Amino acid sequence: MARKKILIVDDEPMILELLKMRLEAANYDVVTAEDGEEALQKAKSEKPDLITLDVIMPPPNGFQVCRTLKDDPQYKKIPVILLTAKTTKSDQFWGTESGADAYVTKPYNADDLMEKIETLLKKNA
């Protein structure tokens, strides 16, 4: 069975590296991006099976990237987990409105995040 590919998008290099190492140890192929523009380019060129997406980053922000992908028939079925420091009910509302499949706040529990990733990948298989 082919390994699943995950695109991690975050403008914090430490978060990118830690999450990348954890996902690779779990046998996923990992692609990274550091801003919204690069996220859109890699989502389209790499065709990941799932995307973890920070909200607060250089434009476009995570809400905008998610909405752009979910509005495109070619990419709307890719599960998106917003992984963000934005914790208010309003932020979570906009995460849902943007089409995100899950909303996880930082600091996050790594085991819970891995479980959410596995659940979304199985659901989308």
Tell me how far apart the alpha carbons of residues 44 and 38 are, in angstroms, rounded to a whole number.
Answer: 10
Task: Name the one residue in this structure whose structure tokens are 């590919």.
Answer: 5
Q: What ranges do the domains of the chain cover?
A: 5-123
5-123 is a CATH 1.10.10.10 domain = no
Residue 22 has φ and ψ, to the nearest 5°, of: -65, -45
Q: How many helices and strands in the chain, by DSSP H and E?
A: 5, 5
Q: Is the backbone peptide bond immediately before 79 cis, with ω within 30 degrees of 0?
A: no
Per-residue pLDDT of the chain (125 residues; tens, 9 = 90+): 679 999 999 999 999 999 999 999 999 999 999 999 999 999 999 999 999 999 999 889 999 999 999 999 999 999 999 999 888 899 888 989 999 999 999 989 999 999 999 999 999 87
